[in-house]
Amino acid sequence: MAPVRVRFAPSPTGSLHIGGARTAVFNWLYARHTGGDFLVRIEDTDLERSQGDLANAILDDLQWLGMESDGSVVYQSDRLREYHELAHALVERGAAYRDYTSPEQLEAMRDQARRRGEVSFGFRVDRDKVCQKDRPEGEPYAVRFLAPDEDIVFLDGVHGEVRFRGAALDDFVLLRRDGSPTYHLSVVADDHAMGITDVIRGDDHISNTPKQLLIYRVMNWEPPRFAHVPLILGPDKKRLSKRHGATSVGEYRQKGYLPDALFNFIALLGWSPGKGDREILSRAELVQAFSIDGIKPSSAVFDETKLVWMNSEYLHTLPVSDLARMLVPYLDSSVEEGYVQKVAALLQSRLRMPQDIREMGAYFFHDPEEWDEKGRAKYWSDAEFPKRFSQYIEDLETRVDFGAAALENDLRVHCNRWGIEAAKIIHPLRLALTGRTVSAGLFEVMEILGRSVVLRRLKRALAQL
Ligand code: GLU
């Protein structure tokens, strides 16, 4: 069997959305799994709607997700000549014809069909009247494929045998009157020229496949294998769209998701490795497990809560220095990276998203401006408390070792002396230092804040008592 060559073929009419990214991920995984090639082709023949910077943004998002073309990126706008050649080869073989119907005539035919109550209008030339030679040179024409009468059947990697009624096809356009190629023409010309062995793409293209197969058949070219991947739905089971929130890779990138987490998440949208329930899979594991057989024939549901969970799992295993680097943009520019690293190490297991650092870690970067009301009533009302507090502050002024373990040990000694449980002083101290009733471990927080900040905050809190 020929080595696998797959392609991802986005039209640059918008940014890379989750559905497109999923198609890319499946193609990429399949290529890596089989040791084949993953190619990228930009389908930009629709020049009015396609934009160069959108193509670049798509390539950039793909790269961010860790997918790059194994050969140079193919741009359809560079290949117009090849499309014309294919269209004319089909005419030569009698499988396509020049259609001189003017747009006005076509509109009139559509109108008549509507009046006859036909739901859709399918253009089929009278088979006896396919004449092309008796037309004057220079008159504009479209090239149309002569639709067959017999059924077209193919084996889809996801859906099994798929049958289309050939008689229901219209004579579809290959070249428009302005000379621009249609999708069916260019896609076959390219897939053949690029040696594509497998086409993995969205279900929305399944009805295009018979038309493309017809072109392969006339040209005597071996068609690729096809696998059509079902739609992605939102949590309400309607087709995933803007209504459901962010739908583009760029938006998730901006929100601070990790590329590996998003990749893992997308890979499981409609595909499953089928081994147990483990969902956090490294790229190598995904590559190893991927198969077209594992693609589910029913639609996948996009669940952002799961993505958040997955992102947190990835954040928790990131090397601390990498994590710190991701957190820096969410903090004041004056904060030193070394300091952020210490905070990152302490909070890593609690962060779900990098921006959580702002709220969750606020007390590492700012003195509290106020102290939780309920906490004050609960922890600061003991009459003995101000005395203990000032003793403790005094002791801290001269402590040599400000490490968490020594601080903890020391506090326990104080507690024994005062005859109280450690919790009786830990909670009030936490409130004084962070303004909150919940924080990371008190002694670790103190070690990171350092003596002078700790003393400053404790003294301010004492003045409140
Ligand atoms: N350019 C098409 C799209 O973005 C893809 C066509 C194909 O994969 O055959 O939907």
pLDDT digits (tens, 9 = 90+) for 286-332: 999 999 999 999 999 999 999 999 999 999 999 999 999 999 999 99
For residue 295, give the DSSP letter.
B
Indicate the top mutation candidate among 40, 187, 216 to test ligand 1's pocket, ranked by most ligand atoms within 8 A of CB. 187
For the CA of 20, the nearest atom of ligand 1: 4
Q: Which two tokens stand for residue 185?
A: 């023409």
Average pLDDT, the chain: 93
Instruction: Measure the CA–CA gap between 143 and 97, rounded to whole angstroms.
Output: 6
Nearest CA to ligand 1 atom 6: 9
- Per the structure block, which two tokens stand in for 250? 């760029």
The predicted pLDDT at position 22 comes to 98
Evaluated on CA atoms 368, 373, 378, 381, the torsion sign reads positive
- The secondary structure of the chain in percent helix, strand, coil, rounded to multiples of 5, reads 50, 10, 35
Cβ 19 under 6 angstroms from ligand 1: no
Question: Which pLDDT band holds residue 118 (cuts at 50, 70, 90)?
Answer: confident
Pocket of ligand 1 contains residue 11 by CB under 6 Å: yes
The SS3 of residue 163 is: strand
In this predicted structure, the answer to whether residue 127 has a pLDDT above a threshold of 80 is no
Query: Which pair of tokens denotes residue 199?
Result: 């086409």
Q: Which domains does the chain have, with CATH numbers?
A: 1-71+230-314 (3.40.50.620), 88-175 (3.90.800.10), 318-360 (no CATH), 367-464 (1.10.10.350)
* The pLDDT value given to residue 48: 67
Nearest CA to 229 out of 274, 283, 266 is that of 266
Distance from the CA of 412 to the center of ligand 1, in angstroms? Answer: 67
DSSP designation for 248 = B
248 pLDDT higher than 90: yes
- Cβ atoms of 53 and 96 within 8 Å: the answer is no
Q: How far is the CA of 73 from the centre of ligand 1 (A)?
A: 15
Q: Cβ distance 156 to 228 under 8 Å?
A: yes
Which is nearest to 399 in space by CA: 338, 443, 344, 343? Answer: 443
* Token pair of 186 as six digits: 């260019």
Cβ of 196 closer than 6 Å to ligand 1, yes or no, is: no
Does residue 450 come out as left (phi exceeding 0), alpha (psi in the -120 to 50 range) or beta? left
Q: Describe the crossing of helices 385-398 and 404-418 by its angle, rounded to 10 degrees.
A: 140
| Interval 380-418: pLDDT, tens | 998 888 999 999 999 999 988 999 999 999 999 999 999
Whether 275 is a known active-site residue: answer no
Question: Are the beta carbons of 376 and 465 closer than 8 angstroms?
Answer: no
Q: Which residues contact 18 (CB under 8 A, 6 or more apart)?
A: 232, 240, 247, 248, 249, 266, 269, 302
In order, the DSSP letters of 261-273 are HHHHHHHTSSB--
Assess whether the C-beta atom of 9 lies below 6 angstroms from ligand 1. Answer: yes
3-class DSSP state of 368: coil
Angle at 80 between CA 185 and CA 147, to 5 degrees: 20
Tens digits of residue pLDDT in 251-292: 999 999 999 999 999 999 999 988 777 899 999 999 999 999
DSSP reduced 3-state for 322: helix
Residue 232 Cα to ligand 1 midpoint, Å, equals: 16
User: Judging by DSSP bridges, how do beta strands 74-75 and 96-99 pair with one another?
Assistant: unpaired
Residue from 173, 164, 165 nearest 144 by CA: 173
Give residue 374's pLDDT. 96
How many angstroms does the Cα of residue 8 sit away from the middle of ligand 1? 8
Give the span between the Cα atoms of 181 and 82, in whole angstroms.
Answer: 10
Check pLDDT > 70 for residue 359. Answer: yes
Question: For residue 332, what pLDDT is reported?
Answer: 92
d(Cα 160, Cα 156) in Å, to the nearest integer? Answer: 5
Q: Of 242, 255, 378, 387, which one is the catalytic site residue?
A: 242
Q: The whole model's pTM is what?
A: 0.90
CA torsion angle 13 16 18 22 (round to 10): 100
User: Ligand 1, from 45, 198, 205: best to mutate by most atoms within 8 Å of Cβ?
Assistant: 205
Indicate if ligand 1 lies below 6 Å from the C-beta of 10.
yes
Q: What percent of the chain lies above the pLDDT cut of 70?
A: 97
Of 68-77, 233-242, 354-363, give the lowest mean pLDDT range: 233-242
